[in-house]
Amino acid sequence: MTGLRVENLSYAYGARQALDAVSFRVEPGTFCALLGPNGAGKSTLFALLTRLFTAPQGRIEIDGHDMARAPRKALRRMGVLFQQPTLDLDLTVQRNLSYFAALHGLRGARAQARIEAALERLEMPGRLGERVRDLNGGHRRRLEIARSLIHHPKVLLLDEPTVGLDAATRHAITAHVHDLSRRKGLTVLWATHLTDEIEDADQLLILHRGKLAQDGTARQLRGGLGLADHFLRLTGEAV
């Protein structure tokens, strides 16, 4: 069983081909970075992976469940962190988390236990009653990560999760998710355009103009070069 499998996925907006026969697999417990310049097709890939819309061609499998044939099973095993914040700023941490839990069918004591465990992992216990607006940017993002794990997904998809954060927070969040992947066996797909978020041992997919340009570990792919230089040489575009 694979964590995440994408086969021959293509998508076009009218005449513009956004994704062209993209195939890759991410094994369970692997942190996989998806690197690509703006317009490479990352957002389209995420929209398809999260079933915002479906592709006429290709196949997506989440923890062994086909997204087209068993979308609800596939979605149940998936956690998502979107690029745009999706917290209700005027609601409390508790309300935000229990809303999400209920969308995944969790409620009552079971939901509450998971919510509290999530906050403990974040080292934020006792802050359930705070309004999200009063949290800083880093805490909000970590809260969203904790929320995306409440239903115990096997695969976590993150679309440029560190946008707008300062360097220290960015580093802390990147390390946190790497750690989750290692310790919990979580399959992670982390889209980014920042090469310093990628560790040498990570699987790396480079998406360029809708096509998968490279797939391997970051160490293999970059060879003797720094990752940013390798990327620049490959795509002709700075990241």
Partner 1 sequence: MTAWLAALAAITQREALRFIGQRSRFVAALVRPMLWLVVFAAGFRAALGLSITPPYATYTTYEVYIVPGLCGMILLFNGMQSSLSMVYDREMGSMRLLLTSPLPRWWLLVCRLLASTAISILQVYVFLALAAIFGIRFGWVGYAALLPALVPAGLMLGALGLALSSVIRQLENFAGVMNFVIFPIFFLSTALYPLWKMAESSALLRDICAVNPFSQAVELIRFALYQQLNAAALAWVLLSGLVWLGLAVWGYDPARGLIRKAAK
Contact between 113 and 142 (Cβ < 8 Å): no
Stretch that binds partner 1, among 19-27, 48-56, 183-191, 223-231 (CB under 8 A): 48-56
By CB under 8 A, is residue 109 in contact with partner 1? no
Structure tokens at 156: 């976590």
By CB under 8 A, is residue 76 in contact with partner 1? yes
Nearest approach in angstroms of CB 44 to partner 1 is: 8
By CB under 8 A, is residue 57 in contact with partner 1? no
Which residue number, 147 or 222, has a Cβ lying nearer to partner 1? 147
CA dist 229 and 130 (Å) reads 44
CA torsion 217-220-224-228 (nearest 10°) is -30
By CB under 8 A, is residue 47 in contact with partner 1? yes
Which residue number, 188 or 204, has a Cβ lying nearer to partner 1? 188
Structure tokens at 183: 């310790």
Q: Which of residues 9-38 bind partner 1 (CB under 8 A)?
A: 13
DSSP string over 57-121: EEEEEETTEETTT-HHHHHHTEEEE-SS--S-TTSBHHHHHHHHHHHTT--HHHHHHHHHHHHHH
Which residue number, 165 or 221, has a Cβ lying nearer to partner 1? 165
Nearest approach in angstroms of CB 204 to partner 1 is: 25
CA dist 46 and 53 (Å) reads 10
CA dist 49 and 39 (Å) reads 17
One of 24, 100, 190, 231 touching partner 1 (CB under 8 A):
100
Give the per-residue contact string, 197-226, with partner 1 (x = CB under 8 A; - = no): ------------------------------
By CB under 8 A, is residue 52 in contact with partner 1? yes
Tokens 């069918």 locate to 105
Which residues of the chain form contacts with partner 1 (CB under 8 A)?
Answer: 13, 43-44, 47, 50-54, 72-73, 75-76, 78, 80, 82-86, 88, 90-91, 95, 98-107
